[in-house]
A = this chain, B = another copy of it.
Amino acid sequence: MPLSREKIAATAIRLADAHGLDGLSVRRIAKELGVGPMRLYDYVLNRSELLDLMVDVVYARIAEAGQRSEWRARVLAVAHATRDAALDHEWFSDLLGGRPHLGPHALAVGEATAAALSQAPGVRGIDDLQRALGALNAFIIGAVRREVTERRTTRSTGTDEAAFQASLGPYLTRMLKTGRYPTVARLVIDGAHLNAEETFDHNLTTVLDGITSRPRT
């Protein structure tokens, strides 16, 4: 088993899944592979190129969702696949939107969604397409990022309200008790019960409807 970019990327992904991006070091990957650290630089230029590699592996999974024929189904599938991938690999959301994703599979995903959107009603010229793609991708990136960070904090604090108030409490509950942030306080207290996927889907259709100029059903 002579070591390859794929093998390196796979173990890097496994480590990043387990310990996050901060816990992912070249030395550690090498140790996991039973190799000296410098060995990796024969297959990869940088640490950042290694990250690009990992990202594109994830995009490969997302690209499989872009096979649908009808434009709206395809966009929905890609968006949900991106969300699923980010929930499986939380480090992916840290990289999302951070640098341009130009790997072959990332480009394939971009092509699939762009082609789909170009068939949407209300998207007339290439300028429309550019804008629509920007809006859609912006929403996906932001929504996924938000959801992942939210998951991280609730995991570190616990979903239990008492535990939550105990960890964030010394600061956040004091802040909210000042009465200066009534709406935020109401959201924090009452608004925890929404289903995440449902919210994502709801807002996604909102954005899509906005793009296609049709009122929400």
Q: Report, as a range, how many residues of chain A touch the other chain.
A: 35 or more
Complex CA distance for A201 and B1, rounded to whole angstroms: 53
The answer to whether A133 and B102 touch (CB under 8 A), given A145-B97, A145-B142, A181-B110, is no
Complex CA distance for A186 and B115, rounded to whole angstroms: 11
Residues of B within 8 A of A107 (CB): 175, 180-181, 184
Q: Which of A193-211 contact B (CB under 8 A)?
A: 194, 199, 202-203, 206-207, 209-211
Q: Which residue of B lies closest to A199 (CB)?
A: B131
Contacting A108 at CB < 8 Å: which of B104, B181, B190, B209? B181
Residues of B within 8 A of A180 (CB): 107-108, 111
Q: Which residue of B lies closest to A110 (CB)?
A: B184
A202 touches B129 (CB 8 A): no
The answer to whether A142 and B137 touch (CB under 8 A), given A184-B110, A190-B126, A213-B216, is yes
Complex CA distance for A126 and B145, rounded to whole angstroms: 22
A138 at the interface (CB under 8 A from B): yes
Main secondary structure of the interface of A (DSSP, over half): helix
A159 at the interface (CB under 8 A from B): no
A146 at the interface (CB under 8 A from B): yes
16 CB < 8 A contacts A-B: A97-B142, A100-B149, A110-B181, A111-B184, A129-B183, A130-B191, A131-B199, A131-B203, A134-B146, A135-B143, A138-B142, A138-B146, A140-B142, A141-B142, A213-B216, A215-B215
By Cβ-Cβ distance, the 3 closest A-B pairs, closest first, are: A210-B210, A138-B142, A142-B142
Interface residues of A (CB under 8 A from B): 94, 97-100, 102, 104, 107-108, 110-111, 114-115, 118, 126-127, 129-131, 133-135, 137-143, 145-146, 149-150, 153, 168, 171-172, 175, 180-184, 186-187, 190-191, 194, 199, 202-203, 206-207, 209-211, 213-216
